[in-house]
Amino acid sequence: MASVDILQTLGNKYSAEILDATDEPRSAQELSDELGIPIATCYRRIDELTEHDLLELHDNILSDDRRRIKVYRRNVETVHIDFEESLTVSVEERSEVTNKLDEAWRTLSEG
């Protein structure tokens, strides 16, 4: 059941902190350092959140030592949980306008 899945993903330790911190794009290493999350756990949480479209790969940036680093940004603005009829979890996504411009711009720099 998708709704329960999302709640579970959100409820996992550090998930909320990661979403809170990824208003601006952050790398796994930055999140691990800033939030004190063991790096392996950090990667696992990022995968789970990305699978549920709560977080998204924002860009592959070039680090100071010329390596490619993945940075992630949260894809969700608000989550509503409704028990009235049956359990429904609705996720309000971030502005699609910015997402689309980001995407178009990213394609440019790759091309």
Partner 1 sequence: MIETTETGIDGLDEILNGGIVTNSTTLVSGNPGAGKSILCLQFIYNGVELYDEKGIYLTFEEDARDLQEAAESLGFENWGDHVESGDIKIYDKQQLLRENDFSSSLDLLLSDIEGAGYDRLVLDSLAMFELFFEDETEKRTYLLKFTDILRKNELTTLMTNEQGAVFPETEIGLENYLTDGNIYLIQTPTESGVSRYVWVAKMRKQNIETDIFPMEIGESGIRVHQNASAFSLMNEDESPI
| Residues binding partner 1 (CB under 8 A) | 95-98, 100-102, 104-105, 108
Of 86 and 95, the one with the shorter C-beta distance to partner 1 is 95
Least gap, CB of 44 to partner 1 (angstroms): 30
45, 64 Cβ separation under 8 angstroms = no
Least gap, CB of 69 to partner 1 (angstroms): 19
Strand-pair partners of 13: none
Least gap, CB of 80 to partner 1 (angstroms): 17
Rounded to 5 degrees, what are φ and ψ at 30? Answer: -60, -45
Q: How far is CA 59 from CA 82, 87, 90, 102, 104, in A?
A: 33, 34, 26, 9, 12
Of 84 and 96, the one with the shorter C-beta distance to partner 1 is 96
DSSP 3-state assignment of 70? Answer: strand
58, 102 Cβ separation under 8 angstroms = yes
Of 11 and 111, the one with the shorter C-beta distance to partner 1 is 111
Least gap, CB of 83 to partner 1 (angstroms): 27
Of 8 and 98, the one with the shorter C-beta distance to partner 1 is 98
